[in-house]
């Protein structure tokens, strides 16, 4: 199966456009047209992950953490990232990353973690509001004959997604006017003459993260020398997507019960008491501290927290259960196995256990 078809259900599950603006998700190595029979699922990509992919006959690695995050200045095989990249390329291994889009996905990282801890039986709500829902309205004017190619460019650029709908757009017919001056090569009209043409105004929506590349794609597809593309920032109500969750249980549980369900190494900080309300945030929990306190939870379960965050929680009477960064994110890999349309295996890389 082609790589793009393998990734389609994953992209529907965790759309790239929902990643945080600072993130770097998507295909990092390889081609959409690569043939993929088997996928290796992992939290991080290191050289040994690439070795594992080769050994186990995988052509694609799907990773939670982006391997390329900061801009690379060289591919000299000195640092971990260039070394891993070069090894992947030499072995024809493609690498795809789903990071904050997977954190935010319904059924994603935090859902899988809460499920692994048996916390989903009661009431569940979001923990940290995400900044993903920063949108812009994009308006493009184009002659009728080129409407379809411009729409295609809008879709390719990530525009037109609203909830579970895509290709969302409004169009209206009107009359555009211009006068091509000296040195122009107008698509329509004649140099030096006022020209009026029938045009379509296309209006759609795009995330702020996608809009710079969207503009490039629309310009490429647009037949005019000087296409008019207007971008208006929109202020949507916040809190439509959340990072992490607050689970209110039907009954109180003891810490030991949660630790037994988890079955792996944990670090507990705080005072032991019966637990009814739990904040869950996979990975680094720092951004969840304020919301865990506001939510008056008994326990904050996360991958890792720094000293000051632990102090802040303790001061507010919130206990913390740390699972290790990678370990707290690994449960989602099983969910990805269900989603992918080809055979997949979960990496045995021991960094999952790194605390
Ligand atoms: Zn992480």
Identify the residue with better confidence: 234 or 199: 199
Ligand 1 geometric centre to CA of 197 (Å):
53
Provide the pLDDT confidence category of residue 111 given band limits of 50, 70 and 90: very high
What pLDDT score does 236 carry? 60
Give 122's contacts (C-beta < 8 A, 6+ positions apart): 247, 248, 249, 250
Verify that 316 and 348 share a domain, yes or no.
no
Verify that 245 and 114 share a domain, yes or no.
yes
Verify that 94 and 24 share a domain, yes or no.
yes
pLDDT value at 295 more than 50: yes
Residue at which a domain ends, from 219, 234, 249: 234
Verify that 119 and 264 share a domain, yes or no.
yes
Ligand 1 geometric centre to CA of 46 (Å):
15
Q: Is the dihedral of CA 352, 9, 27, 244 positive or negative?
A: negative
Q: Which CATH number is 188's domain given?
A: 3.30.70.120
Ligand 1 geometric centre to CA of 100 (Å):
8
Verify that 248 and 216 share a domain, yes or no.
no
* CA dist list (Å): 97 to 255, 280, 302: 34, 22, 21
Residue bearing tokens 């890999």? 333
Ligand 1 geometric centre to CA of 285 (Å):
9
- Specify the pTM: 0.72
Ligand 1 geometric centre to CA of 299 (Å):
20
| CA 344-346-351 angle, 5° bins | 155
Q: Which CATH number is 40's domain given?
A: 3.40.1390.30
pLDDT value at 152 more than 90: yes
Residue at which a domain ends, from 234, 256, 279: 234
Ligand 1 geometric centre to CA of 330 (Å):
10
Verify that 195 and 179 share a domain, yes or no.
yes
Q: Which two tokens stand for residue 137?
A: 């309205």
What pLDDT score does 239 carry? 44
Number of structural domains the chain divides into: 3
Least confident of 74-78, 181-185, 193-197: 74-78
Q: Which two tokens stand for residue 92?
A: 């024809």
Provide the residue range defining the domain that includes 308.
Answer: 106-130+241-323
Provide the pLDDT confidence category of residue 46 given band limits of 50, 70 and 90: very high
| CA 333-337-342 angle, 5° bins | 140
Residue bearing tokens 């995330």? 207
Ligand 1 geometric centre to CA of 109 (Å):
9
Cβ 10 vs Cβ 98: under 8 Å = yes
Verify that 166 and 296 share a domain, yes or no.
no
Ligand 1 geometric centre to CA of 161 (Å):
26
Ligand 1 geometric centre to CA of 139 (Å):
36
Verify that 48 and 169 share a domain, yes or no.
no
């Amino acid at each position: 199966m082609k790589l793009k078809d393998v990734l389609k259900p994953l992209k529907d599950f965790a759309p790239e456009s929902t990643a945080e603006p600072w993130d770097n998700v998507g295909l990092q190595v390889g081609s959409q047209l690569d043939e993929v029979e088997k996928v290796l699922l992992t939290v991080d990509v290191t050289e040994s992950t690439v070795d594992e992919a080769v050994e186990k006959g995988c052509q694609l690695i799907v990773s939670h953490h982006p391997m390329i995050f900061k801009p690379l200045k060289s591919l000299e095989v000195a640092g971990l990232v260039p070394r891993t990249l070069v090894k992947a390329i030499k072995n024809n291994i493609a690498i795809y990353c789903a990071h904050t889009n997977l954190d935010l996905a319904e059924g994603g990282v935090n859902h899988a973690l809460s499920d692994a801890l048996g916390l989903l039986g009661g009431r569940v709500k979001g923990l940290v509001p995400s900044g993903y829902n920063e949108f812009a309205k994009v308006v493009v004017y184009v002659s009728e004959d080129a409407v379809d190619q411009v729409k295609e460019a809008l879709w390719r650029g990530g525009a037109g997604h609203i909830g579970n709908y895509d290709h969302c757009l409004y169009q209206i017919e009107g009359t555009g006017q211009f006068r091509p001056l000296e040195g122009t090569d107008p698509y329509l009209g004649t140099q030096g003459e006022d020209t009026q043409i029938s045009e379509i105004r296309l209006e759609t929506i795009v995330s702020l993260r996608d809009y710079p590349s969207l503009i490039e794609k629309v310009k490429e597809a647009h037949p005019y020398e000087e296409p008019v593309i207007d971008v208006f920032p929109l202020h949507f109500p916040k809190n439509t997507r959340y990072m992490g969750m607050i689970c209110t249980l039907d009954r109180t549980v003891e810490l030991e019960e949660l630790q037994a369900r988890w079955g792996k190494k944990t670090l507990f900080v705080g005072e032991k008491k019966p637990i009814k309300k739990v904040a869950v945030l996979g990975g680094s929990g720092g951004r969840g501290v304020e919301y865990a306190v506001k939510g008056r939870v008994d326990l904050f379960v996360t991958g890792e927290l720094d000293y000051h965050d632990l102090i802040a929680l303790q001061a507010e009477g919130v206990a913390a259960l740390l699972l290790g960064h990678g370990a707290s994110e690994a449960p989602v890999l099983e969910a990805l196995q269900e989603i992918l349309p080809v055979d997949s295996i979960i990496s045995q890389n021991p960094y999952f256990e790194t605390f």
